[in-house]
Structure 1
Amino acid sequence: MAEVRARVQLKVGKNSKIPAEIVSFHGLLDGEEHVALIFNNADKEPNPLIRMHSECLTGDVFHSSRCDCGEQLDECIETMHKVGGIILYLRQEGRGIGLYNKIDAYVLQSQGMNTYEANNHLGFADDLREFRDAALMLNALGVNKVKLMTNNPRKVKELTEAGIEIASQVGTSAHIKEGNEAYLAAKVSRGSHMLDLTQVKK
């Protein structure tokens, strides 16, 4: 059973003006340092908005053109600032393959492979992430029923299987920019993500 380790207030977002609480945990299964960001005391609500966001250094920090991760995170922070919610920030870089392997995959993508084909070529499955720790983090916060902010049906399935009730699903926007069109198209065609990519050539 996971337990809360520490809680502290801070300000986040593009201009570091959005108040939030960051929470660390004891007893997570994979040994990684996952954290929760809580907005507007959402852990006290009966059915809070939740986002499971997997770490993406290139997108979240460096605003890479290769993906939409940083834009999704920014959108989530802004939304939860308004309506409340909890971001579970999961240390699962590159859908679980790690940073260096993700950069190796970028090389292959530059040669014409999509993101899934590149991972497979390196010997990895399409997606190595697990979300049991996300459920444990919610349990530690006293949350067992959520509105899940995601376009990924796998997250809905795995969180449900881990014992969290999904009251509803809320999608994120399609953050299309020069350089990530093929990445987003692959997420739809191969990963079954629910995104409207009418502007993206597949």
Structure 2
Amino acid sequence: MTGQRADARRNYALLLAVAEEAIAAEGADASLEQIARTAGVGSGTARRHFPTRHALLEAVFRRQIDTLAGRARELAAEPDARAALLEWLGAVLRFGATTRGLAEALNRDRTAAPGEVHEHCAAARLTEAGTPLVSRAAPYLAAGVTITDLLNLVTGIALATENHPDAATEADRLLRLTIEGVSPPA
């Protein structure tokens, strides 16, 4: 964004705002062309800012992913490693369950073939952010549980609850049920 003309920055901000609304309503497959029309710009302008769907999704989800990564860093200093990990997983889950399309995008990230070109990197960033929490909580986890396992679990719950009338509450309930199997209380 630095060095762009003022009108290009305005178009980017407008496209991003419209995309956030469209993705919240329609999910990860929201039409880039419709987003451009709603923003009042041409599809070429939209494609210059977001050359692929993954680039658009990455931009839409970046701010929240940054917040979740920051929260993981904060929680890494908490004395109760198990509680810190569970709090962070709950935050990731609530975001995934209530942000239509995020769980699907995370799932696409995880299942991309090695070397497959895609710009969306939320899964990698969440993996990096959550790894220290899992390492600290390892004594409280079942043998062999990894951050990838936990993010797969959270993504699955988010996908299962995304269209539920109260997605966040249902997702939290399912996570609590699952945690008993992953990390029984001491």
TM-score, length-scaled by structure 2:
0.29
Which protein is richer in strand relative to its size? 1
Higher helix share: 2
Q: TM-score, normalised by structure 1?
A: 0.28
